[in-house]
Structure 1
Amino acid sequence: MSSRRAAAAGVLISLARRLRQPLPGAQPRLRFEMPPEHEAAAGVALADEAAARFGDLGPRMSAQHPLYVGFMGTVGVGVALLVYWIGSNTTQLLLWIVTALFIALGLDPVVRWLEGKNVPRAAGVVVAVSTLTLAVAGFFATLIPTIVQQVTQIVQQAPHWIQEFIDSDFFRTVDSQFGVRDRITQELEKFVNNPDAMGGIFGGVVGFGSTVANGLFGALIVLVLSLYFLAALPAMKKWGYRLAPRSRRARVEALSQEITGSVGNYVIGQAVVALLNATFAFIVMSIVGVPFAVLLAFVVALLAFIPLVGGMIAGVVVTLIALTAGWQTAIVYAVCYFAYLQFEAYFISPRIMQKAVAVPGAVAVISVIAGGSLLGVLGALIAIPTAAAILLLIKEIFIVRQDNH
């Protein structure tokens, strides 16, 4: 019996050794890598040796020469037009890339923490992205049935609300003076008998379906790009450092590490703040009896991701909806929620965001408004990290240069 086990073990060991060996004719996959610094230095030495052997190439054309100025000006205008044309035709792709890079920077601190626990970076990337995907999928799997149920309730109660409004004294007074009911009846008849209007409804339904399909496709693209960016982030940083002159490379690396680290901490911190905000809002709405608490908590979580103004907008929206349950309910909710916003601003956010970015209040407000105007919600989200990076570069480069003169 022991001889059989020994033979089986020997077969397994030999099979494992064969699997470790490369397949006959197999070649490692080619990778495009930056040449090492010593090779770059060797290339400079070879250029100097060639100049010594074959002579100098001669003086370059003067930058003041009319031909040089005209040619380079034409090339510059052409390149600018080409960049503008590419950017205007790939706006959606650029937004996907920026979103994926933002997510990758946000997950990078988690991956680096896992690396500190002796977890390989590839496994850490898979764990971080998988956890995020499962969390989002589980959140929506729990939320969507509730949203469908509550939206169905809204649709079922809408005729009752409309009938109450029609039977109210206010509507009767307005109808007796302006004939609102007859006007509404005429417009409805025109709308039903108009084939273009009915076709517009069908086109709107089709357009909504295509929007949903494009949204799902965009989410898939962002997920894949985030995975690639997160896996290749160290290599991308090395490439960026090598583009800087050798004398300033250490300075560029230090600034880059500080900027990317602060952006990652900001993303994680803002996610935690938004989650706490939505949780508190849901608890208060459930206690005071605000209708559609789960749906509104989801809205609060989305708006709370927008810094500074998101929480205020969420509070106003939910308070207005709470008026449907009574002005007492709306007042109680508004007092509790806006008091929490003050507590969050002075106690929660400073502790969560202490390792993130620090931007003056006026600059933060202007940045959020400008980012939202340019790129919508995504622009508002990345506005403060971008402003922090610009302020850091101004402080460490421009001001230092001005102080040295």
Structure 2
Amino acid sequence: MKIQNAFRLGLFGGLGVLVAVVIGAGIGNLATILTYVGAALFLALGVDPAVSFLARHKVPRSLAIVIVLAVILGVFAGFIFAIIPVIADQVGALIQQVPDLVATLTDQTAVQQWWNSTIPWLDYEKVVQGIEDFFTDNLQAITTGVLSTALTIASGVFGGLIVLILMLYFVASLGSIKRALYQLVPASKREKFIDISEQISTSVGRYVIGQVALGLCNGVLTFLFLTVLGWILQNQIEYSALLAFIAFLFSLVPLVGTITGSIIITLLVWVFDGPPAVFVVGIWYLVYMQIEAYVLSPNIMNRAVKVPGVVVVIAALAGGTLLGILGALVAIPVAASILLIVKQVIIPRQNEL
């Protein structure tokens, strides 16, 4: 349609901009939901190879889905029940120490004597006055920060449950979702589209399995190492199962996950057990990170997704900047998918010109 009148042209242009703004605002409001859906679909593609493996071994697909989902839910429940006793134990210990802590803090004479004998170069009265002034001036900000942190944790737990539920639905209906998507492609291009889509979904599934395998290696080796270290030192390492779970969880994040988890575990060992255990654990993780970077990760991930190392680093950094942890997780399979499309679609077309 050709518009001759300048006013009409401006009106239609303004309406187009307004519609674009409304659509953008709607997508922004749905960003959290879209993130949940993307994470659930990503995990479902990672679970699908296990279902397909059982189906290839003459297990009915419906039964294979039930078996895989039961294993996932069992592992998830096991982790939850492993963490809850630790948290309850720590809270109980803290509650038992509260009366003594309150009595010590209210006894200003004892606190001042300890202060003067330990750090006599700092004036006790000035420090106390400074602390009181700080809390008085920043009481609202501190309260807001605490509430915000609590809400963030609650939102994260709720989001994790939503992703888990969506993943269960996606795994159960992944075949029908693919068939419906394939029907939207023109018949002349459908075969090529199906071939590339299956390669992409297989690549994503292998990547998820490879990343979980790296996490399991870190978690199992951490648990065995801490157990053996406790025997050698004749002093059991506190909460070795929880520390192993932390190692597994952080190893799922590419590039920075292992080093972040290692630092956290070393600090927790320092708090719970102190030296010499903390020094041994620190050395262990320095050695393990080298083994994972140069032995485990190349051998596992090269079989999952064939992506150059430079692309892996750039994709993980870009994904983490845009979408945080989720972006870092999905960045590498997305990069692998883009490279696959470039090799099998764009380059052949360029060669035909």
User: TM-score, normalized by length of structure 2?
Assistant: 0.78
1:82 aligned residue (1, 16, 22): 22
Residues 308, 220 of structure 1: alpha-carbon distance in 2 compared, 3 angstrom cutoff: closer
Counterpart in the other structure of 1:230: 171
Residues 71, 130 of structure 1: alpha-carbon distance in 2 compared, 3 angstrom cutoff: farther
Following superposition, the deviation at residue 109 of structure 1 comes to 0.9
Counterpart in the other structure of 1:182: 125
- Larger CA deviation: 148-157 vs 121-130: 148-157
Per chain length, whose mean CA-contact separation is higher, i.e. which structure has more relative contact order (CA < 8 Å, sep 6+)?
2
Residues 191, 345 of structure 1: alpha-carbon distance in 2 compared, 3 angstrom cutoff: closer
Q: Does 1:387 align with 2:335?
A: yes
Which residue identity lines up with residue 332 of structure 2 in the other structure? I
Counterpart in the other structure of 2:42: 102
- Larger CA deviation: 122-131 vs 319-328: 319-328
Following superposition, the deviation at residue 105 of structure 1 comes to 0.7
Following superposition, the deviation at residue 75 of structure 1 comes to 6.2
2:246 aligned residue (290, 294, 299): 299
Which residue identity lines up with residue 352 of structure 2 in the other structure? N
Q: Does 1:116 align with 2:56?
A: yes
Contact 2:203 2:305 in 1 (8 A): yes
User: 1:262, 1:291 → 2: CA distance?
Assistant: 39
Following superposition, the deviation at residue 85 of structure 1 comes to 0.8
Q: Does 1:285 align with 2:226?
A: yes
Which residue identity lines up with residue 256 of structure 2 in the other structure? V
Residues 200, 346 of structure 1: alpha-carbon distance in 2 compared, 3 angstrom cutoff: closer
User: 2:4, 2:60 → 1: CA distance?
Assistant: 55
- Larger CA deviation: 243-252 vs 301-310: 243-252
User: 2:117, 2:59 → 1: CA distance?
Assistant: 68
Counterpart in the other structure of 1:375: 323
Following superposition, the deviation at residue 305 of structure 1 comes to 0.5
User: Could you list the per-position Cα deviations for residues 130-156 of structure 1 after superposition, in whole angstroms to 9, with x for gaps in the alignment?
Assistant: 321121012211222023324655785
Q: Does 1:197 align with 2:139?
A: yes
User: 2:5, 2:341 → 1: CA distance?
Assistant: 35
Q: Does 1:135 align with 2:135?
A: no
The DSSP-based 3-state class of the residue aligned with 2:304 is: coil
Following superposition, the deviation at residue 370 of structure 1 comes to 1.9
User: 2:8, 2:48 → 1: CA distance?
Assistant: 46
Q: Does 1:276 align with 2:223?
A: no
User: 1:183, 1:151 → 2: CA distance?
Assistant: 33
User: 1:369, 1:221 → 2: CA distance?
Assistant: 26
The DSSP-based 3-state class of the residue aligned with 1:385 is: helix
Following superposition, the deviation at residue 328 of structure 1 comes to 4.6
Which residue identity lines up with residue 249 of structure 2 in the other structure? L
1:247 aligned residue (188, 197, 201): 188
User: 2:72, 2:58 → 1: CA distance?
Assistant: 21
Counterpart in the other structure of 2:264: 317
Which residue identity lines up with residue 321 of structure 2 in the other structure? S
User: 1:123, 1:98 → 2: CA distance?
Assistant: 25
Residues 402, 146 of structure 1: alpha-carbon distance in 2 compared, 3 angstrom cutoff: same
Counterpart in the other structure of 2:352: 404
Residues 247, 67 of structure 1: alpha-carbon distance in 2 compared, 3 angstrom cutoff: farther
User: 1:267, 1:63 → 2: CA distance?
Assistant: 52
The DSSP-based 3-state class of the residue aligned with 1:359 is: coil
User: 1:286, 1:170 → 2: CA distance?
Assistant: 40
Following superposition, the deviation at residue 213 of structure 1 comes to 4.8
Following superposition, the deviation at residue 260 of structure 1 comes to 0.6
Following superposition, the deviation at residue 110 of structure 1 comes to 1.5
User: Could you list the per-position Cα deviations for residues 196-224 of structure 1 after superposition, in whole angstroms to 9, with x for gaps in the alignment?
Assistant: 938964x6676666555544443332233
Residues 398, 150 of structure 1: alpha-carbon distance in 2 compared, 3 angstrom cutoff: same
Identity %: 38
Residues 72, 260 of structure 1: alpha-carbon distance in 2 compared, 3 angstrom cutoff: farther
User: TM-score, normalized by length of structure 1?
Assistant: 0.69
Following superposition, the deviation at residue 168 of structure 1 comes to 8.8
Residues 196, 343 of structure 1: alpha-carbon distance in 2 compared, 3 angstrom cutoff: closer
